[in-house]
Amino acid sequence: MLSSMRTQVGIVGAGPAGLLLSHLLHLNGIDSVVLERRSRDYVERRVRAGVLEQGTVNTLIEAGVGERMLGEGLPHSGIELRYGGAGHRIAFEKLVPGRTITVYGQQEVVKDLIAARLAAGGDIRFEADDVAVHSLEDAPYITFGGERLDCDVIAGCDGFHGVSRPSIPEGVLTAYEREYPFAWLGILARVKPSAEELIYACTDRGFALHSMRSPEVSRFYLQVPADEDPDAWPDERIWTELKARLETVPGFTLATGEIIEKGVTPLRSFVTEPMQYGRLFLAGDASHIVPPTGAKGLNLAVADVRVLTEALTRFYADGSTELLDRYSQICLKRVWRAQHFSWWMTTLLHTFDSDDAYARRLQLSYLDYVTSSEAAATTLAENYVGLPYEAAR
């Protein structure tokens, strides 16, 4: 016999989407329980994205969890596109005044949200075994570790490999997917960043990205084959290749240091429609994946959660399901815009086929256009810093 409890919203997954949803619901007087199969230590140490759009920054501040981000995050008012032996700055402050991005690691956002939820008496169940969702059409409940959680609504915030999306009956969802013929070798190094802003480098050797996590820790990415083994990249090889792809502008020298983490991440685009079934609502990676080139993954999850919070707040205020019914429609408008931007940035900057000279010349031509046309640069800038939430309505 399962022991039973009840809440208003059952949330599967204690990543940024699930934790932020729980906190926003709490601020609106709505109870929730968060179930996470991993340990708290694992969740707080899991290194993921680190670029926050202006809307994400504003959301965290409004939710009362932005104090550490404001103190430790690194605001950036531009990025550099580097190719053909020159660097070209996309100046956000000129092209999209008042909107920037902030570099602040996803794991830091998670730490802040966990601390806020626990301080407010929130119920987060880490290391929850055998999580499963049931009876999605009318009386949803979640089972885990010998317990049963009855709820009005389930939020599936458990990522691409979670249990929520596969629980939807076959034939309900339509999946759209694209896999890319390369991956990113990601490196975290204990070294001061060599530039004040992110550098996106397009070279004949492949793509490279210079990023950062703090004034003392840098983050780098290298385009590698899709099936690459990270063990094939000893530290010396990594620094040699990063220098070859980034030291292409006169006067720029890449600082090197101790590599403290490395791993290979495949690139894919994925969207499932709709993002809801019955009383189950998917958010974040449970419903959509973007290649990291456009820095949209975490930010899309935050946008989903904002919509779901508003819809649930209205539902509990007056019983209206109007916004809940339109949840997928509202979210997918923004999701597809981000999908296109992420695909566009990926095709603009990566080497697809070194033997295709025609495609390479088209790529360089478009880079020239983006870096010489204010209209084209503005399109990049406004998508990169994030479109206003109202634009997705």
Pairing assessment for the beta strands 9-12 and 153-156 based on DSSP bridges: parallel
Q: Which residues are catalytic?
A: 76, 200, 292, 296, 384
CA angle in degrees (0–180, nearest 5) for 285-98-20: 30
Residue 48 has pLDDT above 80, yes or no: no
3-class secondary-structure state, position 374: helix
Helices (H) and strands (E) in the chain, counts: 12, 21
DSSP secondary structure code for residue 203 in this structure: E
Topology of domain 3-76+101-176+269-350 in CATH is FAD/NAD(P)-binding domain (3.50.50)
10: tokens are: 């059952």
Query: Rounded to whole angstroms, how far apart are CA atoms 138 and 278?
Result: 7
**What percent of the chain clears pLDDT 70, i.e. is strictly above it?**
99
Tens-digit pLDDT profile for residues 164-211: 999 999 999 999 999 999 999 999 999 999 999 999 999 999 999 999
Query: Rounded to whole angstroms, how far apart are CA atoms 334 and 288?
Result: 11
Query: Rounded to whole angstroms, how far apart are CA atoms 147 and 258?
Result: 45
In the chain, domain spans: 3-76+101-176+269-350
Between 355 and 155, residue with greater pLDDT: 155
Tens-digit pLDDT profile for residues 209-265: 999 999 999 999 999 999 999 999 999 999 999 999 999 999 999 999 999 999 999
